[in-house]
Amino acid sequence: MLLSNLEVVPHKKIVRHLGLVQGSTVRAKHAGRDIMAGLKNLVGGELKGYTELLQDAREEATGRMVEQANAIGANAVLNIRYATSSVASGASELFAYGTAVELED
Amino acid sequence: MEKKKPDLSNPEIPEGINASDEHPLKEFFWLLIGITVFAALVIGALSLSAGWLAQKIPFEYETQLADHFPDVESGDSSNEARIAERLQGIADRLSVEQNLPEGMHITVHYSDSDVVNAFATLGGNIVIFRGLIEALPSEDALAMVIAHEIAHIKHRHPIRALGRGVTIGISFAAIFGMSGSSAGDRVLGEIGLLTALSFSRTQERAADETALRALVNVYGHGNGAIELFDTFSELEQTRFSEPEVLRTHPQSLDRLAALNDQAEKKGWRMNGESLPMPQVLLEHK
Amino acid sequence: MEWMLQYFEIFFALCLLIVGYGFGRLAEKRHYKSIFKREKKYQELLVFSLKTPPEGLTVTDSRLVTGSVVVSIDYFKKFVAGLRMLVGGRLRSYETLVDRGRREAVLRMKEQALLLHADSVINVKVETSSISKGRRNSIGSIEVCAYGTALKHA
């Protein structure tokens, strides 16, 4: 599966356009991490726990998008965009979407 | 140049990728059970240690915590003041026998209410309700109640209950403050409070034993305890709801049996003639 | 009766949970049913997130179309999510919420495009925002907005 946020893949032709595919997940860290992050907020710096949380979530969202693309017979997803929103305090939502296409070999 | 029409389509995407089909109740019950067990363990451990730590608090601080109790002015000749004075007299004799630690003193308060209850609270304060005095047959039985409440204070039970209560309250606030769920906050906080504000069975038994020792030393026999628990077990049978004082207490007859065993071991006399209830205690108005 | 008054708070919350569960589940089922139905119905209208029209397509008309929806989570799901946040991990109850919101928003965008007799919508973007975030203890609700350019093919 080829993933790209370009519109076109250089040197490859798009054979079929298969439409919008999307993947999303909502995740939360356990309460202990929330406390640690709160403490870390006092001194600033990177919140490792949350970086990890969002990283995991982004991977999962991408994975789900790819799963959708696979299911409809695509071999690439182009023009991928990511969006983050916090649905509830302490939980974050990761959303990935793009256009599934079939590229020529 | 030939213009080829692009191949465009929107095939149907299968369900269950972004939202799973699992029954929501399954997750609910697993989470509820898991968290309840975990919270019970943690809070249990915390409250035990808080209770243990609380009894290390000097009694003077406890008194300061509780100094909102109104003092009865000396020279007040109302019946209430006379009753409180008489109760204080009984308590003083019993406290001497209980070898209270240095600086600990008992103050008895009288409350004009029908409730059949008495309780010990922070700062060595004991409250006796009119309903209780009227329900009891003799001075000995009343003395047993007072001795029991003094024993609670001697063993520092009120401050330990407070320590436990505060810990449990804070734990719940912390846990459910973080989850941001008002429902969880309300439901579990309520349950936490209900379990916190009472003495445990073991504490009751310990208080019973200490009380009986004092009773026997002052009155020469333990008949007051027999009369007290007989009265309570009668009340248990005749009323639909238990009298307030019994709610957290072990069944009266069980407690009496435990005390009889104790008396036999220590060689205390249980049977004897009880003193009648002093007339002054019954003259409310 | 006496115990009921004593445990009123618990009882009340429990009632809310049951009501939330029952109606929430019913509403979700209905919503999904209607989403499936309409997705099938509008399948002819194509949706892409590419910025430019596919190569070789002759376009006769283009117009901006939007669709948005605000969906809220029910009491039961919020309770489950609250428990889940203590443990961490995937919040399933919110996942169905955002899934529903997103698909509904895209469907509404499609409906608007159909009114224009369009054949496809390109450069589709989907935005999500939570509108009741500031207040604690408020029921979580999200707004999803989908927009794109509707095209009329030759």
Predicted confidence (pLDDT) at residue B182 exceeds the cutoff of 70 = no
Q: Can you give the pLDDT at residue A95?
A: 92
CA distance C51 to chain A (A): 7
| Residue B12 within any structural domain of the chain | no
Q: Which residues of A touch C130 (CB under 8 A)?
A: 85-88
- Average pLDDT over every residue of C78-104: 87
Strands B118-121 and C59-72: unpaired
Partners of A104 on chain C (C-beta within 8 Å) are none
pLDDT of residue B72: 47
Note whether residue B97 is domain-resident.
yes
- The count of structural domains within chain B is 1
**In this complex, do A17 and B180 lie within 8 Å of one another by their Cβ atoms?**
no
- The three-class DSSP label of residue C95 is helix
Examine residue B163 and state whether it is found in any structural domain, yes or no.
no
Distances, alpha carbon B230 to alpha carbons B142, B150, B237, B254, in Å: 13, 21, 11, 11
More confident residue, A61 or B19: A61
In the predicted model, is pLDDT for residue B176 greater than 70?
no
| Cα dihedral value B213, B49, C82, A86, nearest 10 | 150
When pLDDT is averaged across residues C99-118 and rounded to a whole number, the result is 94
Chain segment B188-213, per-residue pLDDT in tens: 555 555 544 567 778 888 888 899 98
| Interchain pair B14, A71: CB under 8 A | yes
For C59, the closest chain B residue by CA position comes to B5
Q: Which residues of C touch B179 (CB under 8 A)?
A: 82-83, 85-86
Note the pLDDT of residue B178: 55
Chains touching A, CB cut-off 8 Å, 3+ pairs = B, C
CA dist B112 → B224, B228, B281, C3 (Å): 23, 20, 11, 26
Contacts of A22 in chain B (CB under 8 A): 18
- Report helix, strand or coil for A96: strand
Q: Using the predicted structure, report yes or no on whether residue C107 has a pLDDT greater than 50.
A: yes
> Rounded mean pLDDT of chain B?
79
Q: Does A31 touch chain C (CB under 8 A)?
A: yes
Give the number of B-C residue pairs with CB atoms closer than 8 Å. Answer: 98
Is the model's pLDDT at B122 over the cut of 90? no
> CB–CB of A31 and B180 under 8 A?
no
Are B157 and B203 within 8 A, CB to CB? yes
Q: Which of C87, C124, C128 sits opposite A30 (nearest CB)?
A: C87
B24/C13 CB distance under 8 A = no
Q: How far is A45 from chain C (nearest CA, A)?
A: 22
pLDDT at A100 over 90: yes
Is residue B98 a part of any domain in this protein? yes
A1 and chain B: CB distance < 8 Å anywhere?
A: no
pLDDT tens, residue by residue, B139-148: 889 999 999 9
Which residue of C54, C95, C136 is in closest CB contact with A26?
Answer: C95
Who wins on pLDDT, C151 or B24? C151
**Residue C56 forms contact with A (CB below 8 Å):** no
| pLDDT confidence of residue A76 | 93
C135 at A interface, C-beta within 8 A: no
> What's the pLDDT score for residue B241?
53
Residue contact A20–B11, C-beta within 8 A? no
Least confident of A71-80, B130-139, C116-125, C130-139: C130-139
Quote the mean pLDDT of chain A.
87
Instruction: Supply the pLDDT for residue A62.
Output: 95
Residue contact B187–C9, C-beta within 8 A: yes
First-last CA distance in chain B = 116
Nearest to B10 among A18, A34, A88 (CB): A18
Which residues in chain A are closer than 8 Å to B175, comparing Cβ atoms? 31
Q: Which residue has the tokens 């054949």?
A: C119
Residue A25 is nearest to which of C51, C84, C95, comparing CB atoms?
C95
pLDDT classification of C125: cutoffs 50, 70, 90: very high
Our count of domains for chain C comes to 1
Under the banding of pLDDT at 50, 70 and 90, the label for residue B25 is confident
Query: Has residue B124 got a pLDDT over 90?
Result: no
User: Confidence class of residue B74 from pLDDT cuts 50, 70 and 90?
Assistant: very low
Q: Measure A87 CA to nearest chain B CA, in Å.
A: 13
Tell me, what's the pLDDT at B1? 43
d(CA B42, CA A34): 18
pLDDT, one tens digit per residue, over C44-79 is 899 999 888 888 888 888 889 999 999 888 888 888
* B129-135: average pLDDT: 88
Higher pLDDT, B66 or B112: B112
- Three-state secondary structure of B167-197: HHHHHHHHHHHHHCCHHHHHHHHHHHHHHHC
Output the furthest CA–CA distance in chain C (Å, rounded): 78
Kindly report the pTM of this predicted structure. Answer: 0.66
Give residue-wise pLDDT tens across range B82-99.
Answer: 888 888 999 998 888 888
Residue C101 has pLDDT above 80, yes or no: yes
Query: Which of A8, A12, A16, A17 to mutate against chain C (most C CBs within 10 Å)?
Result: A17
- Domain range spanning residue B63? 59-155+200-282
Helix spans in B69-181 (H): 79-97, 130-135, 139-154, 157-179
Is B61 a residue whose pLDDT tops 90? Answer: no
Using a CB-CB cut-off of 8 Å, the residues of chain B touching C120 are: 8
How many CA atoms does the CB half-sphere of A97 hold within 13 Å?
A: 24
* CA–CA dist B146, B119 (Å, integer): 9
**B189 found inside a domain:** no
For the segment C17-29, the average pLDDT, to the nearest whole number, is 91
**CB pairs A-B closer than 8 Å:** 46
Contacts of A26 in chain C (CB under 8 A): 90-91, 94-95, 98
Q: How far is C112 from chain A (nearest CA, A)?
A: 17
In this complex, is the C-beta atom of A64 within 8 Å of any C-beta atom belonging to chain B?
Answer: yes
CATH code, domain carrying C107: 3.30.110.70
Domain A2-103 has CATH 3.30.110.70: yes
Q: Is residue B111 part of a domain?
A: yes
Whether the predicted pLDDT of B24 surpasses 90: no
How far apart (Å, rounded) are the C-alpha atoms in residues C90 and A56? 11
d(C-alpha B81, C-alpha B87), whole Å: 10
Top pLDDT among C7 and B57 is at B57
